[in-house]
Amino acid sequence: MWLEKLHLTYFKNYEEGAFVFGAHVNCLVGENGSGKTNLLDAIYFLTLTKSAFQTQDALSIRHEDDFFVLDGIFKDSERNIQITCSFQRGQRKVFMADKKSYERLSDHIGLFPLVLIAPNDTDLIRDGSEERRRFFDGVLAQATPDYLQDFLQYNKTLTQRNGLLKLFAERNYMDDDLLETYNEPLINLALKIYSYRRSFMDRFLPLFRKYYAFISNEKENVEVIYESEVAAHDFAIEFRKNLTRDLHAQRTGKGIHKDDYIFEIDGITLKKFGSQGQQKSFVIALKLAQFELLKIEKEKTPILLLDDIFDKLDDRRINKLIELVDTGFLGQVFITDARPERSAKILEKVKADVRFFEIG
């Protein structure tokens, strides 16, 4: 599965743009600020229904315009599929497959698997648990549609329960029976999501360790430890016993929204003691493990976006990535670079078809 054509209208810095891509390596070159990363984001948007870099859809509309449209043609072994996304300020975002609208945007997630490796990926290590949960939830959402539906329902129920806790605090009263209508489904969903995440880690970790060894050429033992209070056999009891704290805080203090993933190298926390090189190898290994897991579970080769990696990685790690590109294992790859001559030199020996696009 690969993206053959892309048309943009009023998306970020693009008034209009049309591209025909190759099935293998597509290198986007141009000065900083020319729109290379924005083009990657358009591809990300078409596959995952949102921007990789903006939290609000309106921020992806070109300055002083009122809407954007993205239109792409994806090819697989059987047919061409047209995916269209349109968004107008103040209105609902619309996604269509072959001109037929989705009833739920979530139904589109995972149909066109994609992995992005970007300069800010080390935020997974430096930032808080929310960033790490977002990464692993994103992998699971693409790999397992049932997980995504349960996860969305959990967040909806959590928001409703938090709203009720706030209402109780404002009005200084309590209704146990009403609260229980949210407690029970929230506990059940938490247990289901924990089971998904636990099973996922069993499949993900061997791939991650394999790619860390490949990228780093090191003998270090790396680990991702999934921590969840939902794992306790008495979680349901502890959840209800936490009510006094929940009422005081006006939010739910226990559940899978508090889970974390601890990154370790040789038994030491990577965030505090890992070198820059170790951290870069770690996050690249996470992304490559994501890639292979999606490839296995979706039975499709994901699209891989590599944003500005030649500036951020040393020669050894770049060569390891290019080695994977050269084998054909990675399928369709998009690479951005501000220095065309560097890209040409790095990619000159790649056996796969390489196309260059000058942006800006």
CB 51 within 8 A of CB 44: yes
CATH 1.20.1050.90 in the chain, residue ranges: 128-297
Angle between helices 145-171 and 176-216 (to 10 degrees): 140
The residues, any chain, with a CB within 8 Å of residue 120's CB and separated by 6 or more, are: none
Burial of 272 (0-12, 13-18, 19+ CB in 10 A): exposed
> What is the DSSP code (8-state) at residue 62?
P
CB 284 within 8 A of CB 297: no
Which among 199, 191, 204 is positioned nearest to 150, based on CA atoms?
A: 191
102 CA to centre of own chain:
21
pLDDT, mean of residues 131-150: 95
The residues, any chain, with a CB within 8 Å of residue 171's CB and separated by 6 or more, are: none
Dihedral angle of Cα 119, 121, 122, 125, to the nearest 10 degrees? 170
Tokens linked to 64: 């002083």
CATH topology of domain 1-113+300-360: Rossmann fold (3.40.50)
Burial of 29 (0-12, 13-18, 19+ CB in 10 A): buried
Give percent of the chain with pLDDT exceeding 90.
Answer: 83
Strand partners, 68: 87
Condensed to tens digits (0 to 9), the pLDDT of residues 197-242 reads 999 999 999 999 999 999 988 778 999 999 999 999 999 999 999 9
Condensed to tens digits (0 to 9), the pLDDT of residues 51-101 reads 999 989 999 999 989 999 999 999 987 799 999 999 999 999 999 999 999
CATH 3.40.50.300 in the chain, residue ranges: 1-113+300-360
The pLDDT of residue 219: 77
- Please compute, for residue 204, the number of CA atoms within 13 A of its CA located in the half-sphere on the CB side: 25
Q: Cα separation of 154 and 192, whole Å?
A: 10
Q: Cα separation of 187 and 252, whole Å?
A: 11
The residues, any chain, with a CB within 8 Å of residue 144's CB and separated by 6 or more, are: 110, 196, 200, 297
pLDDT, mean of residues 13-31: 95
Which among 334, 330, 333 is positioned nearest to 300, based on CA atoms?
A: 330
> What is the DSSP code (8-state) at residue 230?
G
Tokens linked to 167: 């209402």
Q: Residue 274 — pLDDT band, cuts 50, 70, 90?
A: confident
The pLDDT of residue 217: 80
Condensed to tens digits (0 to 9), the pLDDT of residues 158-189 reads 999 999 999 999 998 899 999 999 999 999 99
Class of domain 128-297: mainly alpha
3-state DSSP assignment of residue 350:
coil
Q: Residue 190 — pLDDT band, cuts 50, 70, 90?
A: very high
329 CA to centre of own chain:
20
Q: Cα separation of 282 and 216, whole Å?
A: 9
The string of DSSP letters for 80-147 reads EEEEEEEEETTS--EEEETTEE-SSGGGGTTTS-EEEE-GGGGHHHHS-HHHHHHHHHHHHHHH-HHH
